[in-house]
């Protein structure tokens, strides 16, 4: 009986991929630029390293945790960006895990003095498996009290449920000094992701994202010879994703009053229903801190951004599931020869979070 229940649980977790498969998501999607679009590799014109962590529905057992770390760099002489990204996602009671390693390349095309286009490409290696250490069986409990008494079980079952595959993605980003519009297509080969040798192709994920920055009168930070202007701006932005049977829209505003950044978002597609339920998922609130270093004689500067966001669930699941907590940390710094003049690069005005 226990084996039947185990098999049923595994089948529920790993089958039906074409219908239920969906990639992890980040509320602070611009703080995960390489995850959003491979065309953003090297988009700062410098070196950049970052980490993103998301814990969704922490109050229930079937929660999701996603961690992503990345590094990218702009090669000025080649007008090219290169990137590396490592992402791990854990989901479900049985600890279904997906681990991916991705390499990215982008190229900057200057269409006019104030208009640029950056195409990008990604190749990734995925590994998926199930962690059975979280499963328990009847012989581990006291039949009279129901208390957990035995860390081992006499049940015998196979734990060789694994799947690896290579995946390809492309993207493009059209931008000016105050606006941007991007598109990305992930899982172009629709690889079979099933770990029990069934057909479960991973659907193509399409992402459309964009926005524009409205500059306000600059502020001033520091004093005397150390004073400098600080950014004041409002940035409306959006992201729309489509994958299989899933559609999702993020729509909101960033308010930048350096060093403080505030944001508010709505996530959902209210005119579309899922199982006869209106697709209203959450309201996202963001607070962030940004520190930009002073320029050297060649215009180089480093920068640090730290962000926290909370997803307040407005779907039928309710706030009792714990919403979602998300943290981001991004650091940028120059790596090129300081004796060379700064590259003629038009920096994409995307928000930091």
Distance CA(317)–CA(321), nearest Å, equals: 7
**What is the b/e burial string over 208-226, where b = at least 16 CB atoms within 10 angstroms of the residue's CB?**
ebbbebeeeeeeeeeeeee
Give me the pLDDT at residue 141, please. Answer: 76
**What is the b/e burial string over 88-99, where b = at least 16 CB atoms within 10 angstroms of the residue's CB?**
ebbbbebebbbe
Give me the pLDDT at residue 33, please. Answer: 96
What are the structure tokens assigned to 293, written together?
Answer: 């270093």
**φ, ψ for residue 111 (rounded to 5)?**
-75, -50
In the chain, the domains with their CATH numbers are 2-333 (2.40.160.40)
Give me the pLDDT at residue 251, please. Answer: 95
Give me the pLDDT at residue 2, please. Answer: 38
Task: Provide the CB-side half-sphere exposure for 189 (13 A, CA).
Answer: 13
Contacts of 225 (CB under 8 A, 6+ apart): none
Distance CA(325)–CA(328), nearest Å, equals: 11
How many Å from the N-terminal Cα to the C-terminal Cα in the chain?
49
Question: Nearest CA to 251 among 232, 233, 270, 230?
Answer: 270
Are 189 and 126 in contact by the 8 Å Cβ rule? The answer is no
Rounded to 10 degrees, the C-alpha dihedral 217/233/42/334 comes to 40
Distance CA(91)–CA(346), nearest Å, equals: 40
What three-state secondary structure class fits 321?
helix
pLDDT block averages, 10 residues each, the chain of length 353: 39 39 87 96 93 92 90 93 96 80 96 94 92 67 71 63 91 95 96 81 95 88 67 94 91 93 92 73 94 61 92 87 94 78 72 81
What is the value of pTM for the model shown? 0.85
Contacts of 24 (CB under 8 A, 6+ apart): 54, 64, 66, 87, 89
Task: Provide the CB-side half-sphere exposure for 153 (13 A, CA).
Answer: 16
The sign of the dihedral angle between the CA atoms of 286, 214, 329, 267 is: positive
Question: Nearest CA to 212 among 245, 184, 175?
Answer: 175
Q: Supply the DSSP symbol for 12.
A: H
Give me the pLDDT at residue 157, please. Answer: 59
Give me the pLDDT at residue 151, please. Answer: 67
Distance CA(101)–CA(86), nearest Å, equals: 5
Report CA 267 to chain centroid distance, whole Å. Answer: 15
């Amino acid at each position: 009986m226990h084996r039947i229940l185990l098999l049923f649980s595994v089948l529920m977790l790993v089958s039906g991929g074409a219908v239920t498969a969906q990639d992890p998501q980040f509320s602070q999607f611009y703080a995960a630029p390489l995850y959003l679009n491979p065309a953003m590799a090297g988009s700062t014109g410098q070196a950049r390293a970052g980490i993103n962590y998301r814990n969704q529905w922490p109050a229930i057992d079937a929660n999701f945790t996603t961690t992503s770390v990345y590094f990218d760099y702009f090669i000025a002489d080649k007008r090219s960006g290169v990137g590396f990204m490592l992402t791990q996602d854990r989901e479900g009671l049985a600890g279904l895990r997906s681990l991916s390693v991705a390499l990215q390349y982008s190229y900057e095309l200057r269409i006019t003095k104030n208009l640029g286009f950056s195409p990008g490409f990604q190749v990734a290696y995925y590994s998926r498996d199930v962690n059975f250490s979280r499963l328990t069986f009847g012989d581990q409990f006291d039949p009279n009290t129901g208390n957990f008494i035995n860390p081992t079980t006499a049940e015998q079952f196979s734990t060789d449920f694994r799947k690896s595959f290579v995946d390809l993605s492309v993207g493009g980003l059209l931008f000016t000094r105050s606006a941007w519009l991007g598109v990305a297509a992930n899982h172009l080969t629709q690889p079979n992701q099933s770990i029990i040798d069934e057909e479960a192709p991973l659907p193509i994920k399409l992402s459309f994202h964009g926005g524009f920055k409205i500059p306000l009168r600059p502020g001033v930070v520091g004093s005397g010879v150390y004073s400098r202007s600080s950014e004041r701006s409002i940035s409306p932005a959006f992201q729309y994703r489509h994958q299989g049977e899933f559609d999702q829209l993020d729509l909101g505003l960033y308010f930048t009053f350096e060093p403080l950044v505030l944001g508010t978002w709505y996530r959902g597609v209210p005119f579309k229903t899922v199982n006869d339920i209106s697709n209203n998922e959450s309201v996202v609130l963001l607070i962030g801190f940004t520190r930009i270093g002073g320029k050297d004689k060649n215009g180089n500067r480093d920068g640090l951004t730290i962000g926290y966001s909370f997803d307040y669930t407005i779907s039928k699941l309710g706030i009792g599931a714990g919403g979602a907590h998300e943290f981001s940390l991004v650091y940028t710094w120059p790596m090129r020869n300081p004796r060379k003049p700064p590259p003629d690069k038009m920096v994409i005005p995307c928000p930091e979070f």
